[in-house]
Amino acid sequence: MSVASKISDIRATLTDGVTLVAVSKFHPAEAISEAYAAGQRIFGESRVQELTAKYAELPKDIEWHMIGHLQTNKVRAIAPFISLIHSVDSARLLECIDREAARCGRVIDCLLEVHVAQEQTKSGWAVDELREYVASGAMKSLQNVRIRGVMGMATFTDDKVVVRGDFQRIAAIKAELEPYFYASFDTLSMGMSDDYLVAMECGSTMVRIGSTIFGNRVY
Ligand SMILES: *Cc1c(COP(=O)(O)O)cnc(C)c1O
């Protein structure tokens, strides 16, 4: 099946208003071009070097989303063009993004990544720490980032009860934090190839789908 038909199959399953991020990490620019020809404009990448190379090579109306762990020393490379950073997992990173955005005269959209999954390896804010940080008001001084919502991942398991529980907790955190933000705090990024249908049932507004569109990644 072609990339185009896979994208249209996925689109047919999306709840109204849910945005599709095509996760193109580890796939070549040609694969992205195929998706682009099928009308897809939002792509997610997880490594800065790969992201900047693809940005340079591909059409400039693509919206690039950073979905992987981001180190502060890599922010400068993506600040001029990145559309949305899903993976903001510390105050230090958010402050760094704010500074780099100011340097290039931009306001960068960001999501706060929350950790609810059982794996230790998954990144993101611990729920309590995120709560404390937002309640502290420390973000008020940041003029060049706009917090658009929350991102999270479910535990890696076939047990749909566990997955649903994780998504419900991520959605609850988003709802709990809403009063601290403006109406633009409207994004709940959750759901990948194997679990996005459950994520949408739990209120996801943005799904990040890679392998179902592009096939298995060759690392
Ligand atoms: C790789 C990745 C995805 C896409 O995963 P698939 O299972 O290939 O759909 C989504 N979100 C994040 C954060 C990822 O790193």
Q: What's the chain's Rg over C-alpha atoms?
A: 17
CA dist list (Å): 185 to 50, 158, 169, 181: 29, 31, 17, 6
The 8-class DSSP code of residue 72 comes to G
Residue 28: helix, strand or coil by DSSP? coil
Residue with tokens 């991102």: 151
Pocket test for ligand 1, best of 9, 10, 23 (most atoms within 8 A of CB): 23
Q: Where are the domains of the chain?
A: 3-213
Whether 211 lines ligand 1, by a CB cut-off of 6 Å, is yes
CA dist list (Å): 145 to 83, 85, 90, 97: 11, 10, 14, 7
The predicted-structure confidence for 157-210, as pLDDT tens digits, reads as follows 999 999 999 999 999 999 999 999 999 999 999 999 999 999 999 999 999 999
Per the DSSP assignment, residues forming a β-bridge with 112 are: 88, 150
* Superfamily, domain 3-213: Alanine racemase (3.20.20.10)
Residue 12: helix, strand or coil by DSSP? helix
Give the nearest ligand 1 atom to 151 CA: 13
C-beta separation of 190 from 199 below 8 A: yes
The 8-class DSSP code of residue 74 comes to G
First to last CA, the chain: 22
- The pTM of the whole model exceeds 0.85: yes
What the block records as the tokens of 69 is 């762990």
Give the nearest ligand 1 atom to 212 CA: 9
Smallest Cα–Cα separation from 162: which of 129, 125, 202? 202
Residue 146: helix, strand or coil by DSSP? strand
pLDDT in tens, the chain (219 residues): 899 999 999 999 999 999 999 999 999 999 999 999 999 999 999 999 999 999 999 999 999 999 999 999 999 999 999 999 999 999 999 999 999 999 999 999 999 999 999 888 778 999 999 999 999 999 999 999 999 999 999 999 999 999 999 999 999 999 999 999 999 999 999 999 999 999 999 999 999 999 999 998 776
Give the nearest ligand 1 atom to 208 CA: 10
Whether 46 lines ligand 1, by a CB cut-off of 6 Å, is yes
